[in-house]
Amino acid sequence: MIKKFLLAVIAALGVLTAIVLFNTFRHSSVQVLTRDNPAPALSDSAVRHFQRAIGFKTISYGESSLFDSTQFLGFRKFLETAYPNMHDQLSREVVAGYSLMYKWEGKNQSLKPIVLMAHQDVVPIEESTKSMWTVDPFAGTVKEQFIWGRGTTDDKINLIAICEAVEKQLETGFRPERTVYLVFGHDEEVGGRGAQSIALLMKQRGIEAEMVLDEGGIITKEKVPGLKKPLALLGTAEKGYLSLELTVEIPGGHSSMPEKETAIDVLTKAIVQLRSHPFEAEFSEPMQNFFDHIGPEMPFLQRMAMANQWLFKPMIVNTYEKSGPGSAMMRTTMVPTIIQAGIKDNVVPTQAKCVVNFRLLPGDLSDEVVARVKEIIGDDRVKIERLEKGAIAEASAVSPVDGYGYKTVDVIIKQTYPDMLTTPFLLIGATDSRHFGEVSKNIIKFSPMIDPIGFHGINERVSLESYQTAIWFYYHLFRSLN
């Protein structure tokens, strides 16, 4: 009997091994092969233009009273001066006061247009961090083969690289096959009302774009576990955005005679309860596409895991959960960002509040998330309300990997950068392009820069190599619009 059992186990293991190996070897590359054409050297004028762009403090603040319109008007004037052909041959509209929409008329009016996006605004420099910068954050300093300053990576590299590429094309008399719209929003960092207005305007005019290309994924040489080649991350969807305010009101009083439970106690327990019950890890469509594209390029063991997710999913989840970004690509995240309670050290507050921010995985609707939060907290004393301020949005639709947008950007990247792999992925942040879902079904989120440093942080900077190849990327893109 034992012998038969052992033979059955061995046979089962043999079948399992055969299935795993069959799936692994069948998991072949889906990468498009093309010949690359390295970028020409950067011109001095291109570097100066980028430096000058950083000098404008086009800052978006949470408080509208801090908005400095002169910086945006100055930046607009700078674009007119730096790119005279662009402003002479393309039409321009100013929308919502400061957002810009350019139209470059294509030769073939039967083809749907494309939309290229970037935003003018940058985040503020926190007062407490100013002394930590090693350069003036608004000087556009060039050192150590990087351009330094607020907005270099987010998002003036894209905006200026687009303008440089347009200007270079116009100097040669070039005109694209398709009409091209350039959309430069002015308040992406605080919700993107400018881009939203432009999207609405396009919808009202009946404009249906073949592709929208906005900021998003980057090129990385080091951030994907197990991958040895450089990888371009093409965002085919972005997570949704939701903030909930938790409020607890329990009569307070003097701190010398506290009650058994206070508003702060109840709120703290609710926060701990939420943080200890994270959403389950899921492989959404963009994440599944990510694994399908990078899996065949991995060393054998990782390739085997990617090809047999039915067996190795826990191992894959465990690997990606080790980093914040990796974990965020697999689940709806929730984290407290603001806590308010108390006015004096000897007074027990009557009210305690907390804001919890959620980034929603495709498929996780905001109503379902709110219901889940109520269930996890399980305490009616905690009042839960949606915050109506900010970028409230469901997760975006997923752009198809076999659509015009993805296939076009995929090829252009490989023509621009040598020895490059590409993959779809889920963007965990928010972009202006989320407002363009009714303008195009092919929205790709990609910033052609290599491992930028300091997004929204101290010593933000991007390499001169990134800027050089970004210009070349857009230059190639314009010539491929057929």
Catalytic residues: 121, 188
CA distance 413 to 417: 6
Pairing of strands 231-238, 211-220: antiparallel
The full DSSP string for 72-104 is HHHHHHHHHHH-HHHHHHSEEEEETTTEEEEEE
Q: CA-to-CA distance for 372 and 261, rounded, in angstroms?
A: 25
Contact residues for 180 (Cβ-Cβ < 8 A; gap 6+): 103, 104, 106, 113, 114, 115, 116, 478, 481
Helix (H) or strand (E) holding 50: helix 44-55
Distance CA 317, CA 299 (A): 18
- State how far the Cα of 190 lies from the Cα of 186, in Å rounded to an integer: 9
For residue 444, the cross-strand partners are: 213
- Token pair 């889920």 is found at 426
Maximum CA extent, the chain: 89
